[in-house]
Structure 1
């Protein structure tokens, strides 16, 4: 008497799920691909704008010289040139680090990570706000536009479904 006559035999849920095998990763929609490439474009444009600083080194040094004279400073031209060079190098290092992080977040978005979508949205909002308060180059405006396009694409219906499915345990 191993079976009860009153209860039918049903497979338990754990056995059915285990025998089904691994669940395939959800298909990546075109909106996520579009968002990814928009964020890549934004990064490239931002890098191009940051690298324009090399072209403007003389203007930076002249601005520092003028400020030094107006304030009655005692810095020599060599010291001002050194300050301009250090400023340029530090700025380029920061721009490259930010670009690397931005690309990391874009790749994580492409993999369906919701936290990356949120980080990219916050960074894009900060970028747009900075355009309202500071003078920027054409590259800066185009980078912000590309990032806004990326954010919009990352929050469309297919993108939301993909990120929700990618976040489920497999």
Structure 2
């Protein structure tokens, strides 16, 4: 088997990791959009934090908070997608970056009130991460590193 064939045909473990990270990204995106359903809870939290907020200012603060959350989700989703495709291409640095992001995701579950989508997303990402380090994945990444 030539190196070029190895690079264009990733092993099933890499393909599984790739689709696992894609699925994790989709569920993270779904979780990010859940913030739109928690407008009243967010307003109550902001009202408790600053009782001087008027109705209009509170609405603006909620809108800014939701917009910021969606912007963060968009950046995370785009980063995960880019790294997933780089992993599929056999880039070890992408595998390491996805590992770090997955570990940060898992740690964030302990520090926040996570949703079901957050837990699902993290579980799928952990399985994808493990798949990306199995022996066939290691051989593929090592082979791709020598040809890039």
TM-score range, shorter chain: over 0.9
- The question of 1:40 aligning with 2:22 is answered yes
TM-score calculated relative to the size of structure 1:
0.81
Q: Which of 1 and 2 has greater Rg? A: 1
What pairs up with 1:68-87 in 2 under 5 angstroms?
A: 68-69=50-51, 74-87=52-65
8 Å Cα contact 1:40-1:103 kept in structure 2: yes
Unaligned runs of 5+ in 1: 1-21
Larger RCO (alpha carbons 8 Å, 6+ apart): 2
TM-score calculated relative to the size of structure 2:
0.93
Quickly say closer, same or farther: Cα 1:132–1:41, change in 2 above 3 A. Answer: same
Post-superposition shift, 1:169?
2.3
Displacement over 3 Å in runs of 4+: none
More helix by share: 2
Map Cα deviations across residues 70-105 of structure 1 (whole Å, 9 max, x no partner). Answer: xxxx22111011001011011101111110011100
Unaligned runs of 5+ in 2: none
What pairs up with 1:109-148 in 2 under 5 angstroms?
A: 109-148=87-126
Quickly say closer, same or farther: Cα 1:114–1:23, change in 2 above 3 A. Answer: closer
What pairs up with 1:84-99 in 2 under 5 angstroms?
A: 84-99=62-77
Counterpart Cα distance in 2 of 1:66 and 1:169: 57
- The question of 1:55 aligning with 2:33 is answered no
- The question of 1:150 aligning with 2:132 is answered no
The size of the alignment, in residue pairs, is: 145
Counterpart Cα distance in 2 of 1:121 and 1:139: 19
